[in-house]
């Protein structure tokens, strides 16, 4: 017969395994970060994401608040990155600029990557005239430098953040189409695809349930790296006046505004320039780390190299 003591001991037996699992997970995560320091750049990226999401709560001042009396002020405790030519707090504007850069970068890669991936899978799976037509379109887009093509598209559509996103998405389509096509050609020869075809599985299900999940890893790595280039291109287009328009707080636009004060107040470039460098560098290094962790061949090479040094 159960006693009250038995019922009191049950919660302890449930909590102990949970605590042990949490401790093991934390220990495993810490060992992973220690083994590959490149993953710490993911923490920097996470800080940018959190700052973008909670910008109204973490910024010390409204980004559009003018203070003519303290225009072009050097960095102080009240304004760690100083103020711009109109007395607006640079730190607040850099934080709000993170929203635009990350949104444009992620949105353009999602749209361009999805379209390019579907085109690449369709071309490699159906082959014939479908593959030839898609290849011609991809080669035509790749014949233009990406930034020049994006600039031409935005110039035709008109300067705005939405048009910049559309232009950068179009520019990224051929990259993912080629990558997806090459990966699909390899995956289509696997036994699980052949078995699905023989069992009469619809083509749509084969492409979406059998091929796409198995080529997702290289696409994810490419997306991580492509977001950094999309952010850099977006800042460049805004610097040229084709992206975000004043008084929107955007990194490229801030650099363009600070160019007038380059000789007298060069520190005005510090905030937006440092933000671009950090986020682009973090995304590129994190992409390299993801490639090594997701690609078995790269992981095996790294393990063999580590064994040789021991």
pLDDT band at 170 (very low <50, low <70, confident <90, very high): very high
pLDDT, tens digit, for every residue of 282-298?
999 988 888 887 765 55
Residue 31 predicted with pLDDT over 50: yes
The pTM score is 0.83
Ordered by start, the domain boundaries in the chain are 39-68+80-309
How far apart (Å, rounded) are the C-alpha atoms in residues 84 and 76?
A: 13
Q: Is 39-68+80-309 CATH 1.10.3720.10? A: yes
DSSP string covering 238-275, please?
A: HHTTSSS-TTS--HHHHHHHHGGGTTT-GGGGHHHHHH
pLDDT band at 56 (very low <50, low <70, confident <90, very high): very high
Contact (CB, 8 A) for 179 and 120: yes
pLDDT band at 309 (very low <50, low <70, confident <90, very high): very low
Of 115, 142, 85, the C-alpha closest to 256 is 85
pLDDT, tens digit, for every residue of 91-146?
999 999 999 999 999 999 999 999 999 999 999 888 889 899 999 999 999 999 99
How far apart (Å, rounded) are the C-alpha atoms in residues 189 and 193?
A: 7
Residue 240 predicted with pLDDT over 60: yes
Q: What's the gap between Cα 59 and its chain centre?
A: 23
């Amino acid at each position: 017969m159960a006693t009250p003591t038995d019922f009191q001991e049950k919660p302890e037996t449930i909590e102990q395994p949970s605590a042990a699992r949490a401790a093991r997970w934390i220990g495993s995560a810490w060992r992973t970060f220690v083994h590959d320091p490149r993953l710490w750049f993911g923490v920097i990226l996470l800080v940018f994401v959190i700052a973008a999401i909670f910008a109204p709560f973490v910024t010390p001042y409204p980004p559009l608040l003018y203070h003519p009396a303290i225009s072009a002020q050097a960095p102080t405790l009240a304004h760690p990155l100083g103020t711009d030519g109109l007395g607006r707090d640079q730190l607040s504007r850099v934080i709000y600029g993170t929203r635009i850069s990350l949104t444009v970068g992620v949105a353009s890669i999602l749209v361009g990557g999805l379209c390019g991936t579907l085109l690449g899978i369709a071309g490699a799976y159906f082959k014939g005239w479908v593959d030839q037509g898609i290849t011609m379109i991809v080669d035509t887009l790749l014949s233009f430098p990406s930034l020049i093509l994006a600039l031409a598209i935005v110039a035709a559509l008109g300067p705005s953040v939405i048009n910049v996103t559309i232009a950068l998405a179009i520019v990224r389509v051929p990259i993912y189409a080629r990558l997806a096509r090459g990966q699909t050609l390899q995956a289509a020869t696997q036994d699980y695809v052949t078995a699905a075809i023989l069992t009469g599985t619809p083509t749509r299900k084969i492409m979406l349930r059998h091929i796409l999940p198995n080529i997702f890893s290289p696409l994810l790595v490419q997306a991580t790296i492509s977001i950094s280039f999309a952010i850099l291109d977006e800042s460049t287009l805004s610097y040229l006046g084709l992206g975000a328009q004043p008084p929107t707080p955007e990194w490229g636009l801030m650099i363009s505004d600070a160019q007038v004060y380059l000789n007298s107040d060069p520190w005005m470039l510090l905030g937006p320039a440092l933000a671009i460098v950090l986020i682009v560098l973090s995304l590129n290094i994190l992409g390299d780390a993801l490639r090594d962790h997701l690609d078995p061949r790269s992981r095996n090479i790294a393990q063999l190299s580590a064994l040789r040094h021991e």
